[in-house]
Amino acid sequence: VSPGNCWPLQGHQGQVVIRLPARVHLTAITVQHIYKEVSPSGTVISAPKDMAVFLLSLCFVPEGLDADGEEETLLGTFTYNVEREAHQTFHLKVRSTAFSSVKVLVKSNWGNPAYTCIYRVRVHGKMA
């Protein structure tokens, strides 16, 4: 994780879909940003703030994703706090069903209208 080398999302909202290598019973998610002290801009206003995590049931075709075959299940909402640790773990509602894709929805950031930066996302769970 290098300051200034993030996964940028255009605007103050955005989403990322992560396809897992196997079906997993998800238990938690960890989101990481950088500390203000090491930020190239001297701020962390591009850090995600309000977020939601969904399990996805997706249909993949050779060209990519088939949006018509998508079903979402909300696992939880949380707030990433820039005044706390750089990496923060949030526990999710336990589901008995295993999924192979997860969507991380950023509802807002800490004030940057141009972009939102995510440095790392970790998905925790047990393989089905």
* CA pair distance 100, 98, nearest whole angstrom: 7
Instruction: Give me the percent of the chain exceeding a pLDDT of 70.
Output: 88
Residue 107 lies in a domain: yes
Residue 74 lies in a domain: yes
In a domain, residue 43? The reply is: yes
On the question of pLDDT at 66 being above 80, the answer is no
Average pLDDT across the chain, whole number: 88
Residues 6+ apart with CB under 8 A from 119: 1, 5, 6, 7, 32, 33, 34, 86
Query: Of 121, 74, 78, which Cα lies nearest the Cα of 95?
Result: 74
The domain spanning residue 81 has which CATH number?
2.60.120.260
Number of domains in the chain: 1
What residue numbers bound the domain in which 101 lies?
A: 7-60+68-127
Mean pLDDT of 89-93: 92
| Predicted pLDDT of residue 70 | 65
Predicted TM-score (pTM) of the model is 0.84
Q: What is the DSSP string of 53-73?
A: EEEEEEEEETTEEEEEEEEEE
1 found inside a domain? no
CB 26 within 8 A of CB 112: no
Higher pLDDT, 63 or 117: 117
Amino acid at position 53, single letter: V
* pLDDT at residue 50 greater than cutoff 70: yes
